[in-house]
């Protein structure tokens, strides 16, 4: 993924074989709004906010209901922006928004703190609110495939864990213009 505007050549070598491919980045300096469906809902998924044990239950929790694992982002959008006069999100003071405050554990919340303040997830919540609570356009690229890396592994003692990376490919999307350190 390019980090700035311009063109380059990328050389890939594997043993004696090599190949050179052109690369081009454009409009990388233009900010990209936070996607409600692909980033905000993803942050809620990571925090477990829309799980079956929390607000994703059929009746929700404490008057706040989300679709299970973000299955119905349209209904979630209405809940977050219009239900109870939109008190969960405050576009004028995003950091005062109830959904943001509860996720950080700054106000009483049965679910306790869901994210550390320094992580990317609450930044996505706050930024989406600050950008005006916009739903994604109907032309939002659809998920085409998911790849889990490094692939099949068998852990042998003394190994206890394996770090994974999940890459999502969205049809027609040219790549997000985000800081590479901003990972959910």
Indicate whether 116 and 75 sit together in one domain: yes
**pLDDT at residue number 172:** 63
Domain-terminating residue out of 100, 130, 160: 130
Residue 63 in domain: yes
Residue 47 in domain: yes
- The Cα–Cα gap between 158 and 139 comes to 48
Indicate whether 125 and 147 sit together in one domain: no
For the cut 60, the answer to whether the pLDDT of residue 182 exceeds it is no
Indicate whether 74 and 59 sit together in one domain: yes
Indicate whether 25 and 40 sit together in one domain: no
pLDDT confidence tier of residue 26, bands split at 50, 70 and 90: confident
pTM above 0.85, yes or no: no
Give tens-digit pLDDT for 89-113.
Answer: 999 999 999 999 999 999 888 888 8
Domain-terminating residue out of 82, 108, 130: 130
Give backbone dihedrals phi and psi of 149, rounded to 5 degrees, phi first: -115, 140
Indicate whether 19 and 40 sit together in one domain: no
Indicate whether 25 and 44 sit together in one domain: no
Domain of residue 166: give its range: 6-30+141-170
Please confirm whether the linkage preceding 53 is cis (ω < 30° from 0).
Answer: no
Indicate whether 13 and 74 sit together in one domain: no
- How many domains does the chain fold into? 2
pLDDT confidence tier of residue 168, bands split at 50, 70 and 90: confident
Indicate whether 11 and 55 sit together in one domain: no
Indicate whether 41 and 126 sit together in one domain: yes
Residue 182 in domain: no
Residue 65 in domain: yes
């Amino acid at each position: 993924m390019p980090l700035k505007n311009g063109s380059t050549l990328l050389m890939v070598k594997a043993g004696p074989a090599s190949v050179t491919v052109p690369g081009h980045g454009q409009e990388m300096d233009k900010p990209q709004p936070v996607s409600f469906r692909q980033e905000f809902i993803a942050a809620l998924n990571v925090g477990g906010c829309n799980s079956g044990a929390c607000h994703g239950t059929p009746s929700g929790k404490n008057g706040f209901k989300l679709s299970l694992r973000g299955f119905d982002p349209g209904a979630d959008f209405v809940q977050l922006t219009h239900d109870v006069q939109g008190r969960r999100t405050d576009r004028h003071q995003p950091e005062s928004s109830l959904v943001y405050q509860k996720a950080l554990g700054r106000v009483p919340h049965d679910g306790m703190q869901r994210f550390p303040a320094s992580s990317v997830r609450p930044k996505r919540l706050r930024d989406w609110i600050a950008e005006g609570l916009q739903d994604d356009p109907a032309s939002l690229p659809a998920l085409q495939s998911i790849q889990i890396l490094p692939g099949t592994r068998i852990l042998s003692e003394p190994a206890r864990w394996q770090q994974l990376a999940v890459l999502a490919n969205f049809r027609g999307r040219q790549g997000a213009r985000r800081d590479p350190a901003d990972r959910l």
